[in-house]
Structure 1
Amino acid sequence: MKFLGITLILGLLAGVWAQIIVVRPQCDSPEAEEAALVAQDYLNAQHSHGYKYALNRIEDIKIYTKPDGDNTYVLEVDLLETDCHVLDPTPLANCTVRPKILTAIEGDCDVVLKKVGGVLTVTAFKCTTEESTEDMCLGCATLLPLNDTTALDFVHSSLATFNNRTVDVTYAVMEVGRMSSQVVSGGPIYFAEYVVVEATCTDDACVPLHDATAARGICSAKGLSTDHTVDCNMFSILIPVVDANIPVADANSTGADANSTADPVTPSMAPKDRGSLSPRHGLRHHKLTALHDPQLSGFLSAESAESAEVVPVAPAVAGAAAADPAAANPAPAVDAGSASDSSASAEVPVVVVKRDVPAAPTSSVVDTLTTQPDPIALVPVCPGRIRFFDS
């Protein structure tokens, strides 16, 4: 009887797998483009520090289809950092991707999406964020750690210059975006980008305002602490304040230096409180959220757990809950078990996007799953085109 029971179970499992089909559309097909743009927008929505990222290339796509219409998309995408901060309301299409000469930052992400009734929903992802150091010229500006004390002195000096030009408003540093230096005749000069927020100041201490009406903007400075230029552009619309009750994990306190016990970034700082302005551990750029897989989907490889670099999670895109009531109640995060607390994934709101999707192109490769869930494609249809440059 036990043998018959095992045989029956195996037969049922084989029948289920036989009904799952893997479709391999071309990476530049409309269906792949749609899924990649949903993934791009979702990842940017979870990224509350640093800059927005733009899609550079679709590396691979698989669509796992079932008779009940429950389709799962597994994407590999290449993203590039733009010059628009995540708080900047400028549409991503109007943002400029940083060229290699200015040290481009690349995000490589695997993204899992569900599609039910024409609605695409991101359910899991993993990302690695690295500098693109190829083709760097001799003597070009190089990125500095975001907690470099000399560069932070330059940031404060340049902000003081800007504050001296303003009337009735004083600004404090909210976040350092990037800092770099270049060796020229006479010594190094510094370049810095940092986000500022309206503040109230008493003597030498300034406390940023936290309400949504506080003015915010991004500043660019060049030169030395004693001789520099600085220009600040205020954001054109009000920036919503992130709800402090939303649970987040901060990459700024979980970087490469595992032995450090420094506190994470705090929004309130005195002018010389450099440590609270930027990430710890010598990180030279802000990173995308590294891993989110609350349902342990099985579509992300074991490499997902390699990085513990997790940044704060922003609220879901406005209107997502209205599009799908289930999006307002994301599944609870799974206990990491043996993983360390620093590598645990924060619970991420689900973004729902619905677009009209053309039928899959006839050039797609279709595989029927019988013995394994990840067959090899019969025809090379990926990777797709490069939109900006090969990183």
Structure 2
Amino acid sequence: MRELVILAALVSALHVASLPTDTDVVYKCQEDQDNIAILAAERFINDHHHHGYKFKFVSLDSRRADEKTDLCEVILGITLEETECHIVNPKPLDQCTTRKESETKVTAKCNVTVLSFEGKAVVACYICDTKPDSHEILVTKCPDCPSLLPLNDPKALESVKTALQKFNKESNHKSYFKLLEVGRISTQWMFSGQDFFVQFAITETNCPKRVAYRKQKACKALCGVKARYGFCKSSKVGNEEPEVECEIYKAQNITHPMKHPLPYRGFVKIPPSIYPICPFLPPCLCQGPSDHVSPPPPPPPPTQ
């Protein structure tokens, strides 16, 4: 396995913070323009996944460029880290902090192909391998820290259900909110038993807050400019009732990303305990350093 070429000058926070946003700059896949390609990759990946948390660029690990053709391309091996901002959080990415090691840090290793199209840096393909720190690393560095659980853990999901019911009962909002998705589940064994710590996103519905229990499943989420989302953190200690805190965001005019000028494809390996970088598209056999991200296996042959 080849050693990765670490470009230390590009990993400093100062450099990342100074990535240019000048739309008049003509991108030509040159090495001194890697910051433009990195910014395009970071934005594109965050704009095109619809689950979990926002990811922030950490380091450029490798690059390979073809500057000979009119449609030049550069293949970047980059590292991203999960932030504490869920995708429903309107906070700008530069204000989101990456997750601490004690919270089981999640890292994404990506190969991204960036083209120069009409003078702009355009993402054509990406493949990411997203995974959390191993449990052994967490135990070594923080033996008392909670560990991640799969997002479908039945006991934890029961605590989410109870926490959401409590929020709807006690909140001062007029609408009923329903579960959008579970973002993270962690657990810890204490003298009181098994504790659960859950983060989940919620969405406002067309039902009033006092809607009857038997009618809650029929409540529909509001869409477009009317949509209000929230992000909740709940904790359940032993057999006690869950505690829950939710932050509700103002209605946002959430639209799909602008139409991409070129066809693109993306692929990510999905661990069971975290949401991946999306979208869920067919495998993308990106070119790039084979020691950075392994391409997905070929599909099975069709049955006769």
* Distance (Å, rounded) in 1 between the aligned partners of 2:195 and 2:148: 12
Please tell me whether residue 284 in structure 1 is matched to residue 273 in structure 2: yes
Q: 8 Å contact 1:27–1:60 — kept in the other structure?
A: no
Question: Among 289, 294, 298, which residue is 1:303 paired with?
Answer: 294
* Distance (Å, rounded) in 1 between the aligned partners of 2:65 and 2:120: 14
Q: Please name the residue that 1:203 is paired with.
A: 213
Q: 8 Å contact 1:123–1:293 — kept in the other structure?
A: no
Please tell me whether residue 339 in structure 1 is matched to residue 299 in structure 2: yes
Q: Please name the residue that 2:248 is paired with.
A: 234
Superposed displacement of residue 25, structure 1: 8.4
Q: 8 Å contact 2:88–2:231 — kept in the other structure?
A: no
Q: Please name the residue that 2:65 is paired with.
A: 63
* Distance (Å, rounded) in 2 between the aligned partners of 1:91 and 1:81: 14
Superposed displacement of residue 223, structure 1: 2.3
Kindly provide the amino acid, as one letter, of the partner of residue 286 in structure 1.
Y
Q: Please name the residue that 2:19 is paired with.
A: none
Please tell me whether residue 178 in structure 1 is matched to residue 215 in structure 2: no
Superposed displacement of residue 295, structure 1: 8.8
* Distance (Å, rounded) in 2 between the aligned partners of 1:97 and 1:297: 27
* Distance (Å, rounded) in 1 between the aligned partners of 2:254 and 2:276: 22
* Distance (Å, rounded) in 2 between the aligned partners of 1:108 and 1:340: 26
Structure 1 residues 130 and 94, CA, compared in 2 at 3 Å: closer, same or farther? Answer: same
Q: Please name the residue that 1:99 is paired with.
A: 100
Secondary structure at 1:40 match in 2: helix
Kindly provide the amino acid, as one letter, of the partner of residue 243 in structure 2.
T
Question: Among 43, 46, 56, which residue is 2:45 paired with?
Answer: 43
Kindly provide the amino acid, as one letter, of the partner of residue 303 in structure 1.
S
Superposed displacement of residue 239, structure 1: 4.9
Q: 8 Å contact 1:128–1:290 — kept in the other structure?
A: no
Q: Please name the residue that 1:332 is paired with.
A: none
Structure 1 residues 48 and 340, CA, compared in 2 at 3 Å: closer, same or farther? Answer: farther
Secondary structure at 1:285 match in 2: coil
Q: Please name the residue that 2:160 is paired with.
A: 155
Superposed displacement of residue 26, structure 1: 7.7
Q: Please name the residue that 1:143 is paired with.
A: 148
Unaligned runs of 5+ in 2: 1-5, 11-30, 258-264
TM-score, normalised to structure 1, is: 0.58
Superposed displacement of residue 130, structure 1: 0.6
* Distance (Å, rounded) in 1 between the aligned partners of 2:114 and 2:88: 26
Q: Please name the residue that 1:222 is paired with.
A: 235
Structure 1 residues 296 and 156, CA, compared in 2 at 3 Å: closer, same or farther? Answer: closer
Q: 8 Å contact 2:151–2:184 — kept in the other structure?
A: yes
Structure 1 residues 198 and 25, CA, compared in 2 at 3 Å: closer, same or farther? Answer: closer
Instruction: Map 1:107-118; keep pairs closer than 5 Å.
Output: 107-118=108-119
Superposed displacement of residue 175, structure 1: 0.5
Q: 8 Å contact 1:80–1:97 — kept in the other structure?
A: yes
Identity fraction in percent: 24
Kindly provide the amino acid, as one letter, of the partner of residue 296 in structure 2.
A
Q: Please name the residue that 1:347 is paired with.
A: none
* Distance (Å, rounded) in 1 between the aligned partners of 2:170 and 2:229: 16
Cα deviation, 1:250-279, whole Å, max 9, x if unaligned, reads x9xx967xxxxxxxxxxxxxxxxxxxxxxx
Q: Please name the residue that 2:25 is paired with.
A: none
Superposed displacement of residue 202, structure 1: 4.2
Q: 8 Å contact 1:197–1:208 — kept in the other structure?
A: no
Structure 1 residues 298 and 83, CA, compared in 2 at 3 Å: closer, same or farther? Answer: closer
Superposed displacement of residue 234, structure 1: 1.0
Q: 8 Å contact 2:81–2:106 — kept in the other structure?
A: yes
Root-mean-square deviation over aligned CA pairs: 3.3
Structure label with greater radius of gyration:
1
Kindly provide the amino acid, as one letter, of the partner of residue 150 in structure 2.
P
Secondary structure at 2:295 match in 1: helix
Tell me the matched-pair count: 254
Secondary structure at 1:230 match in 2: strand
Kindly provide the amino acid, as one letter, of the partner of residue 295 in structure 2.
S
Kindly provide the amino acid, as one letter, of the partner of residue 234 in structure 2.
A
Q: Please name the residue that 1:169 is paired with.
A: 175
Unaligned runs of 5+ in 1: 1-23, 244-248, 257-282, 307-337, 342-391
* Distance (Å, rounded) in 1 between the aligned partners of 2:220 and 2:278: 25
Q: 8 Å contact 1:79–1:107 — kept in the other structure?
A: yes
Kindly provide the amino acid, as one letter, of the partner of residue 49 in structure 1.
H
Structure with greater contact order relative to length (CA < 8 Å, sep ≥ 6): 1
Structure 1 residues 170 and 32, CA, compared in 2 at 3 Å: closer, same or farther? Answer: same
Structure 1 residues 94 and 298, CA, compared in 2 at 3 Å: closer, same or farther? Answer: closer
Q: 8 Å contact 1:178–1:285 — kept in the other structure?
A: yes
Secondary structure at 1:305 match in 2: coil
